[in-house]
Amino acid sequence: MNVAVETSDVIDTDQSGLRLQPGFVEGIECDRKRFSTLQEAYRHIFRNNLEYAIMLWNGIPIRFEYQKDLAAIIDDLIAMLRAVQDFELDEFTPFQFRSANVGFVWKVMTTAEYVTITAEWVKVPGGYEAALNKLGMIQMLRLDFMCEWKLLLKQFIQAIDDAESDLTEIEAQEKLNIMRSLEEGIPNRGLFYQY
């Protein structure tokens, strides 16, 4: 008995928007070190991690290394997510993200319901910036966008806790508290983690 299965029955064909698949974070050592910035802390904490976080931007994958990329952009990521959560961006506001492997600028605008982002991709692993720039805009429900970041935020918070790291500067402590507040304020995980 042959049963024909349509691809659309198996896979959601709408690839628009942003989806985030964090990797499995491992190799965190409880070494109780002191750090002045979150970037410094995460570069050290994730030094043994071999996993990547994968972002799908309108269906195109972008790979982020925890130690080199995510650690480098954490401050800008926190600022952008906080602004989106508080929907305080009533005109396009630029956020610049740079690391060893990725470079991009997002111009972000929010309403109570939606987030709209136009992106300029400057550098990505694999060198397909042109393809990303052709699909350079996303618009999605603001809550769905925030939900995509919940698991990654939780990983970053848990990493500091597991390593028993001490953040010595008030600014780094405040950013960690903002991350905790952001994560707690997001009701659900992203699309790939609805279980």
Q: Report pLDDT digits (tens) over 54-69.
A: 999 999 999 999 999 9
Tokens 């990547």, located at residue? 52
Mean pLDDT of the chain: 91
Q: Quote the CA–CA distance of 63 and 95 in Å, as a whole number.
A: 19
Q: Which helix (DSSP H) or strand (DSSP E) does residue 150 occupy?
A: helix 142-163
Structure tokens, 192? 């790939």
pTM, rounded to two decimals: 0.90
Domain boundary assignment for the chain: 14-188
Between the alpha carbon of residue 172 and those of residues 25, 35, 58, 159, the distances in Å are 21, 9, 33, 14
Whose CA is closest to 64, among 42, 83, 81, 79?
42
pLDDT tens readout for residues 128-183: 999 999 999 999 999 999 999 999 999 999 999 999 999 999 999 999 999 999 99
3-state secondary structure of 123: strand
